[in-house]
Amino acid sequence: MYLTPRHNEILELAKERGRVLVDDLAALFNVTPQTIRKDLNDLCQQQLLTRIHGGALYPSGVENLQYEARRQIAAQEKEAIGTAAAELIPDGASLFINIGTTTEAVSQALLDRKALMVITNNINVANRMRVYQGMEVVIAGGVVRGSDGGIVGEAAVDFIRQFKVDFAVIGTSAIDRDGALLDFDFREVKVAQAIIANARHVILVSDSTKFERTAPVRIGHLSQVHTFITDYCPDPGIREICREFKVRLIETAPAPVP
């Protein structure tokens, strides 16, 4: 299919931001939302974008988005999720925080807590929290992934297994309709699994775009989580899984953003 100049501009914006929204594009190009929806559908048919509610993501498949692009996706939603997660963690708690832009939003919201012990395999979290008085930050050893500062591999897994903490704050790259939590890097998944196994209360933080994505490596299942915090859960099946396994579902924006 021939790509129009507008198609190419939409692709460039999606590549830069990680996500494009129908309403924003309609205003930018001074066309109707229906026209933009057709553009996005055309691009998705060619597998250049992945359709989500209200817009589209770049890219799809087994490649993860670049770190800076991931930070821009649902940034306001992640901030609200981070605030909600921080409210569950009291002063004096011990916790794991793993790799991810949403878990980093939680670390930002925790900066006013006192006497936290934070064990992390995320260099960005460690750098943010280490300078605050009263925070004890412990960082895992292992291979540092250049793309996002995540520490992965067997050394990190062995390190995590030394601890038993009050809370774990974990993210995921995708949530399947059957409740499977998915990611892209099997080395990162092994660390996440160790974190889940060694925490008394597991908090999953994930914005609603993760319901529209897929990834090839299984972390675990939603039933292994105690609290799931998202901006909005659009899937009735996921809600039923939460009810069945007594997972507390917290939605920071209980109606979808158009």
pLDDT of residue 209 exceeding 90, the answer is no
Query: Which pLDDT band, with edges at 50, 70 and 90, does 60 fall under?
Result: very low
Say whether 59 sits in a helix, a strand or coil.
Answer: coil
pLDDT of residue 36 exceeding 90, the answer is yes
Q: What is the pLDDT of residues 75-125, one digit of tens each?
A: 889 999 999 999 999 999 999 999 989 999 999 999 999 999 999 999 999
Beta bridge partners of 50: 57
Q: What percent of the chain is predicted at pLDDT more than 90?
A: 67
Token pair listed for 23: 């309403």
4-18, 49-63, 79-93, 244-258, range with the lowest pLDDT = 49-63
Pairwise CA distance, residues 10 & 7, whole Å: 5
- Of residues 59 and 90, more confidently modeled: 90
Helix H segments across the chain?
5-17, 22-29, 33-45, 67-72, 75-86, 101-109, 123-129, 154-160, 186-197, 236-244
Pairwise CA distance, residues 44 & 53, whole Å: 13
pLDDT of residue 17 exceeding 60, the answer is yes
Residue 192 has phi, psi (to 5 degrees) of: -60, -40
Q: What is the mean pLDDT of the chain?
A: 89
pLDDT of residue 128 exceeding 90, the answer is yes
**Predicted pLDDT of residue 63:** 46
Q: Which residue segments constitute the domains of the chain, with CATH numbers given? A: 5-60 (1.10.10.10), 74-251 (3.40.50.1360)
Cβ atoms of 226 and 205 closer than 8 Å: no
pLDDT of residue 69 exceeding 90, the answer is no
Omega into 59 within 30° of 0, i.e. cis?
yes
Residue 22: CA count within 13 A, CB half-sphere: 17
